[in-house]
């Protein structure tokens, strides 16, 4: 099996409702998103999928989050925009866009250089 990883980032603000601590206040992050795409067969050029295709799919998903107040987006009206929830939501959005012969190993959302959440099936 081949596994390709791509990283992209965006800037956005959020707050955590019901949380006791500083994160209940409005604050922002440079969110770093790492995705791993997997498959067994290479194409005639020796590629699983072009890195540029993965980047374009991910960029399309992340565009709505960039410079947004995440709590106001439809997917975060009823749940907190935590790194955990973001990883799951991005995972399933990307899964819908990928070719059926490819899978997603994981989506990792980094809130800082030292903290991340990973979602996989």
Kindly write down the DSSP assignment for every residue of 8-34, as one continuous string.
EEEEEEE--TT--SGGGS-EEEEEEEE
From 3.20.10.10, 3.90.650.10, 3.30.479.10, 3.30.830.10, which CATH number describes the 2-119 domain?
A: 3.30.479.10
Tens digits of residue pLDDT in 44-95:
999 999 999 999 999 999 999 999 999 999 999 999 999 999 999 999 999 9
What whole-number distance in Å separates Cα of residue 105 and Cα of residue 44? Answer: 23
Q: What is the pLDDT of residue 22?
A: 86
Rounded to two decimals, the pTM is 0.94
Task: State the average pLDDT for the chain.
Answer: 96
Which sequence spans correspond to the domains of the chain?
Answer: 2-119
Q: What is the pLDDT of residue 19?
A: 87
Q: What is the pLDDT of residue 70?
A: 98
> How many residues does this entry show for the chain?
121
> Residue 7: which of 55, 74, 75 has the closest Cα?
55
């Amino acid at each position: 099996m081949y596994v390709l990883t791509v990283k992209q980032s965006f800037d956005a603000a959020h707050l955590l409702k019901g949380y006791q601590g500083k994160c209940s206040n409005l604050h922002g992050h440079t969110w770093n998103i790492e995705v791993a795409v997997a498959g067994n067969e290479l194409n005639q050029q020796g590629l699983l999928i072009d890195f540029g295709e993965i980047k374009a799919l991910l960029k399309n998903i992340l565009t709505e989050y960039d410079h947004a107040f995440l709590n106001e987006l439809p997917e975060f009206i009823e749940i907190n925009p935590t790194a955990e929830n973001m990883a799951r939501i991005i995972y399933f959005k990307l899964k819908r866009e990928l070719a059926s012969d490819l899978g997603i190993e994981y989506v990792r959302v980094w809130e800082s250089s030292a903290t991340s959440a990973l979602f996989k099936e």
